[in-house]
Every structure is written in structure tokens, then in C-alpha cells.
Amino acid sequence: MMRGAVPTILQAIGNTPLVKLNRLAADVAADVYVKCEFLNPSGSTKDRMAPYLIDEAEARGELRPGGTIVEATSGNTGAGLAMVAAVRGYKCVFVMPDKMSSEKIATLRAFGAKVVVCPTAVEHDDPRSYLEVAKRLAAETPNAYYANQAHNPDNPGGHHQSTGPELWEQTGGEIDVLVAGLGTGGTLGGTGRYLRERKPGVQLVGVDPIGSLYYDFVKSGRVTSPFTYKVEGIGADFFPTTLDLRLLDEVVRVDDKECFLMARDLVRLEGLCVGGSSGAAVAGALKYARQTQKKENIVVLLPDGASHYLSKIFNDDWMRDNGFLEEHPGLGMVSDVLKGKTSDVIFARSIDRVRDVIGRMKAHGISQLPVLEGDKLLGAVAEVDMLRYLVSGEHSLDSPVGMLAESDYATVTANTKLELVQSLLSGARMAIVLGDDGRIVGVITKIDLIDYLARRAT
């Protein structure tokens, strides 16, 4: 074979550059570097995991010659698997949520894959969800292999074998913090474990979009109500077994607007042609750096590129229509509703007596309120919880209210769009507004939103 050539495109995976952020990180003490995983052959960091996944499946006899690879994907894992399948002669069937970009769907079809699109706005265990449809298709397809990236230990294994060693060598061990978006957890988990084996003090920081379950679970231990968001490839409304949240030293939350505007800035100010999940990772990393104010080396993984989002993030009309550019404010933001509320946040401590909390709710004319344990959000309690408690007759009115705290709420920030709040309140009792430090700064209920919109219409 000619010198300098590789046998197949699969041997071209990896060796992606590490680039210092200059303009966007000028205001932080840390040196922030980005690992350009979007320069992998099929366009994402999932190229690291896909060959390892297939190698292991072949070794176990789960994937045989002429077989069909089936997977539920947001697009990038599908592209990585399709690339491997093209080289090795497998067929592919991919199932995607309908919020994914048309470019991603077209890319998978260009590889010769069959693509099935399912509704996004359903529960993860709904028969119509992309996860359940993928399971069904895998069961119905002869000689099929279900890659199952959210529950397949080979997912983080691929990054432990590839991304971790490469990043360690590339940084000379001088990395202090690794930041990555939280999806299935394979990238941060596999890479992070390898780095910690070499340097136990490396900090692992996950970035999670508003609407996903991870942030609230890490911060409060509760599974709150997820809701739909637009950034692709990160976050979830269920817990993949490939994601070990115990590895995290910190989780930072971002919203859609932050993700998309940062992606555009990365292209225009740093020359890095990246997509929304890369924007999310950098936005989260800069938030983390501003919080810690440490002089350290932060490495951010940039999972995929801009080409998959030309019809969305880099289309001004789409950005305006979805309220992500200033000239199209939409319904407004959570902060607009909070400005119209004159009273302070009414809450209960977990040790408060049930009778006192009932009195507090009655005195303030409210039907629900947050419950704190110290300064930490424990949960929420509503009239229906009190009623159920009293009807049971099993407990005293002098019992602590903390035992009644439920998880039927969602958390948002002051910058969350009201269109999202409107959607989440159709399924959750209330939206609890958290500041960057995790403290409660407000509560929004259905009547608060109705009152705001009524005043806005006059």
C-alpha cells in the first residue's frame, strides 16, 4: 500500500486537533481549549465509539455477515455506524426523533440507510417513541443487531480506548478540567475514566440543556418533569445506563438560545464550524470558568459540526421564527413573568410541620409551593398531596412536610422562553425558577402565566 495511505476510512478516525479559544474566553482566568471532534470522518465524536461497538458485537457473534444494524439515534451515532457498515457490508435501519435536522436525515440516507422518523413530544416508553420503535424494528428484522448505545457498555468503552488516551497524550497530562455535553454519557464517561486513571484530580463537568432530567437529578436527587427542547444530541428524558452521574464533579445547565448563539459565535469569532451541542459545551464551560475563577486548563469536547444545522441554527429565518434572535421576542422569557409578581417566593422547609404549611398556603392563597432542605430544593408539595395525606389518616399534622415532597415540577431559569414554559405546564404542576447558583428565585404556575399573557394582550 502506498506510503501515507490508510486501508479504509475507519483508520482515519481520531487525531483531531486541540485548539485554544481566544476571543470567546478572553474574560476568564482559565485557558480554554476545544477538542475538534467534529473533524472526524463522518463528522462527529461518535466515530470513536462506532467501530468499537461493531468490533465487540462481531466478536460476541451478535452481528453476523449480511446483518442489519438497528439503532435509535439523534443522527451522529447513526452516521458513525453507517460509515462502518459501508466499509464492512452491513445494512442499517435508524430511528430518529422528528426534531432532528433534515441534513442529518439526508446524511444517513446518503449512506444507504433506512431512516424512520418518530414524534419527539412523547414519553420515552411510549410505543411511538424513537427508542421503542427501534427496539421493535430490531426484534422484527432478521439477523439484526440492536446497537442500543444508551445501554451498551461498549459506548463508553470506545472512548476509553480512543478519546481518552489521545487527549492525555495531546495535553501532556496538563489537563485540569474536561467538559462535555451529557447525552448517553459515553463520551464523558469513557474519556473521563481514562483521564482519572492517569490523573485522579481531573475534574469532570457535564453540560445539560434545560428540559433534560440530568441537572435536577444531580442537584436534588429527584426525577423532575422533562420537557421538549430544540438543541440536538444532548440531554434526555430517561436515564441511560451508560451514564454514570457519580463521575461528575459539576453539572452546568444551558438553554437553547445560549447553545445556538454560542455555536454561531464559535464559527464567526473563532473559525470553528460547529453545531448546537458544541455551542452548548462551550457555553457551559465558560459558565463553569466564570464560577470557579481559577487559572487552569479546561478542555471542551466539540462533538459535531455546523453542516448538519445549516437549515436551523445558521438560518436567520429559523432562528427568528423560534425566538432566538432579538428582533423576534416571542412570548417573552421567565424573567418577564417574574417582574410582574410582587410577592417574595413562598416556600416550606422540610422540617416545617404539615399544619403550618397548610396555614401558609391558605394565608397566601396558593395551591402549591417548593420544599427546601437547607438551601437545596428537595421537591414540591401541592393541595392534592395534603388531601391525600389527610384522607389516609395515617400521619399527624405535626409530621414534617418533607415526607410529602413530590417531583411533579420542572425547573427553568430566568432566560427560559415562555413557549417552553407553556408546554411544560401542560404536564407539570409548576415551574421552579433557579438561579445560576441553584437557589430558588421564583415559581411560575399556570395562573401566573395566564395573568402575564392577559396583561400583555391589553
* H or E element, residue 356: helix 354-364
* Cα–Cα distance for residue pair 6/11, rounded to 1 Å: 6
- The three cell numbers of residue 437 are 447558583
Q: Provide the angle, in degrees to the nearest 10, between the axes of the packed helices 154-161 and 163-171.
A: 30
Looking at the DSSP bridge assignments, the partners of residue 252 are: 207
Could you say which of 35, 46, 104, 312 is catalytic?
46
The DSSP secondary structure of 157-177, one letter per residue, reads HHHHHTHHHHHHHHHTT---E
3-state DSSP assignment of residue 185 = coil
Tell the residue number behind the cell numbers 466564570, with chain if given: 290
112: left (phi over 0), alpha (psi -120 to 50) or beta: left
> How far does the chain reach from its first CA to its final CA, in angstroms?
75
* Cα–Cα distance for residue pair 449/428, rounded to 1 Å: 13
CA angle 122, 124, 125 (to 5 degrees): 105
Phi, psi at 115, each rounded to 5°: -120, 130
* Cα–Cα distance for residue pair 165/172, rounded to 1 Å: 11
DSSP code, position 420: H
The DSSP secondary structure of 40-54, one letter per residue, reads STTSBTHHHHHHHHH
- Where in 287-343 does DSSP place strands (E)? 297-302
Q: Is 114 among the catalytic positions?
A: no
Q: How many CB atoms lie under 10 A from the CB of residue 170?
A: 17
Half-sphere exposure of 167 (CA within 13 A, CB side): 37
> CA dihedral in degrees (206, 209, 214, 220; nearest 10)?
100
* Cα–Cα distance for residue pair 275/183, rounded to 1 Å: 15
Per the CB < 8 A criterion, the answer to whether 40 and 301 are in contact is no
Which residues are tagged catalytic? 46
